[in-house]
A and B are shown apart, each in its own frame.
Chain A
Amino acid sequence: QVQLVESGGGVVQPGRSLRLSCAASGFTFSSFGMHWVRQAPGKGLEWVAVMSHDGTIQYYGDSVKGQFTISRDNSLNTLYLQMNSLTPEDTAVYYCAKNKGSGSSWWGPFDYWGQGTLVTVSS
């Protein structure tokens, strides 16, 4: 069965960096686009970034453009999110999510989600 397991969250000081990982199993990882979605405490869902199945296409939400970098290692079945210059506004649960369509389809929907990892930016 499909499993997505995020890791790397925690408490970090403002201005520091953090890298999240999402280990995927149960499907052919290299065939599907992958997304990061975040949810601030008590707030709604906010899309963060997408990477195509082959890593050639990446798009970012306006609030993280130039600050976060999405990447993937298809040999390790792992998705990453490098987060730099973190601010308290980046405090959220970060979910990785699998794109339902394969190949050149990477614009959603998200048919599987991880359990999320909490990132808290605080001094």
Chain B
Amino acid sequence: QSVLTQPPSASGTPGQTVTISCSGSSSNIGSNTVNWYQQLPGTAPKLLIYSNNQRPSGVPDRFSGSKSDTSASLAISGLQSEDETDYYCAAWDDSLNGVVFGGGTKVTVL
């Protein structure tokens, strides 16, 4: 059971917008920034969004993040076939003194 809660799956057709939610508590998302990682099959995760809504260099602006209170969201607009993979949210937890991850969301492009 993950500390952060994500839906196990999400889907959309090419060009649509898919949104993935990440729910936490006051000790993690409520008091720290949220980061998102993309993991392609058989590869290491890649930082996709950091500090709630910042994109590292090279990440397309189709990817955007937001945070409100104890929840965060990742939106993928203009969905492409290459976006079909796993996404994880993460944040530091002040009570656990550690990084907590969501269980991951598998995005399917229909």
Contacts and interface: CB of A to CB of B under 8 A. Distances in A.
Contacts of B44: 95, 113-116
Given A100-B47, A100-B50, A108 B101 contact: no
A107 B99 contact: yes
B50 A109 contact: yes
Contacts of A114: 44
Interface residues on A, range: 20 to 34
Interface string A69-102: 0000000000000000000000000010000100
B56 interface: yes
The main secondary structure of chain B at its interface with chain A is strand
Given A95-B44, A111-B56, A113-B44, A45 B98 contact: no
Interface string B42-55: 00111100110000
Contacts of A107: 32, 92, 99
Contacts, number: 60
B110 interface: no
Interface stretch (A11-19, A20-28, A54-62): A54-62
Contact of A44 (B32, B56, B88): B88
A34 interface: no
B16 to A, nearest CB: 25
Nearest to A59: B97
Given A44-B88, A45-B45, A109 B98 contact: no
